[in-house]
Amino acid sequence: MASSEQIIMACCADIAGQVRGKGFPEIDLPLRLQRGVGWTPTNVQITCFDVIADSPFGALGDLALVPDPTATWVIHDQIGDPVEHVMLGDIRTLAGEPWECCTRSILKSALQRLQDVAQLTTTVAFEHEFQVSGGTAGDSGSSYSLAGARSGAAMGRRIFQLMARNGLRPDTFMKEFGADQFEVTMKPADGLAAADRAVILRELVRVAARERDQRASFTPIRDPAGVGNGVHVHVSLNDADGQPVTHDPDSATGLSDVAASFAAGITTFLPGILALLAPSAISYLRLTPHRWSAAFNNLGLRDREASVRICPVTSLDPLAIARQFNLEVRACDAAASPYLQLAAIIHAGTEGIARNLPAPTVTESDLSTMDTWELTEMGITRLPTSLEAALEAFAAEDCIREWFGQTFRDVYLAHKRGELAVLEGLTPEEMCARYLAVY
């Protein structure tokens, strides 16, 4: 029975990768599913440091944040009462139209474009790395070890429990290479649901850690001398009947023609969309050679330093291989909204299909040891090495305006420049500390 005492939060995952929203009594849910809760346009310019960047909206305008009951999570206390109930949703105009700066609506538009251009849908999975503090998380020598797994076992069990209770299918949990670092993955879902679940998973991990007097952080990098925390986005393509079309057993790389063009679109436009995939100032401390992240706009075969990786499969059955076969985009981190990350990937891939781009050169070597002319011959460039450079590439890419619209482009640039202004004069260590406190 609905209660006037229980609060449901209607929320969005915004440009800063933060979950923000407004609560209402559970008894009002039918009304709020129709009308939403009031929202303010300038909220989009609240940076991760809670400083409002330059806003074209000022104090003007009104919007509605409309919750979606298919994108929800509930945390219960020990006697079964809900202590946290959240619904993600879409920001709409008062006329009911998608707002041009709503991250979730932007992803919906990208997925629709892929369907319109190529009659394709997606299956997607997000992998997350994070670090914990405030408790025992594994001593030196615990990387990938059973001892390291034991140190996080209680938290891992709770994460899996929370996932299962909220409709997320757990896949793996492991002690990662870095200090206090773990990785959690979940089963794939369709594009929009996968992005919803990426947002939900991060919050469930934070809950599980907090219950153990720990703090989970998805910051891109905690220490300039340490390892980074990435988000790996796995994408495969399906036809109108839902059948997988990413794989071609007769192709040298295993990619079908359409998937090869999709991959070519991602690698071609990666410098321009990087500011959406890795949007913090410290993201670029991680995106360097030999950190198992991404430094070049390359397509690699089973290469964990490739920006886009052709993943291995674990079956001999042709149908199972076709369903497993996917591309992994490795240049992402959790300072971003999953909706914007996936929208950028989908738009770039769709552009590759629309232009019938040929398959990129597949690399299987250390690109950092190659001369610039060799990389140029292969169509490979070094990715932007700072957020400032990534924003310049973002601003210069004409396709960005077409895909996301001029208003969003301008808002995003102003938002990120406002974020950078807060960090002016800080050392890398000080910047890492600021982001650690946020993510």
Q: Cα–Cα distance between 108 and 100 in angstroms, integer? A: 11
Residue 188's Cβ-side half-sphere holds a number of Cα atoms within 13 Å equal to: 18
Reading the block at residue 72, the tokens are 């929800």
Reading the block at residue 256, the tokens are 């079908």
Strands, DSSP E only, in 62-169? 63-76, 82-92, 121-133
Q: Which domains does the chain have, with CATH numbers?
A: 7-98 (3.10.20.70), 108-438 (3.30.590.10)
Closest CA to 196 of 339, 376, 309: 339
Q: Would you give per-residue pLDDT tens digits along the chain (439 residues)?
A: 566 678 999 999 999 999 999 999 999 999 999 999 999 999 999 999 999 999 999 999 999 999 999 999 999 877 677 789 999 999 999 999 999 999 999 999 999 999 999 999 999 999 999 999 875 544 555 777 788 778 888 899 999 999 999 999 999 998 888 889 999 999 999 999 999 999 999 999 999 999 999 999 999 999 998 889 999 999 999 999 999 999 998 898 899 999 999 999 999 999 999 999 999 999 999 998 887 778 888 898 877 888 899 988 876 777 788 888 999 999 999 999 999 999 999 999 999 999 999 998 888 887 778 788 888 888 888 999 999 999 999 999 999 999 999 999 999 999 999 999 999 999 999 999 999 999 9
Reading the block at residue 161, the tokens are 């429990």
Torsion of CA 245, 251, 254, 256, to 10 degrees: -20
Angle at 92 (CA atoms; ends 391, 118), nearest 5 degrees: 65
Closest CA to 386 of 410, 363, 411, 419: 419
The helix/strand/coil state of 263 is helix
Closest CA to 363 of 322, 307, 430: 307
Residue 213: other Cβ atoms inside 10 A: 8
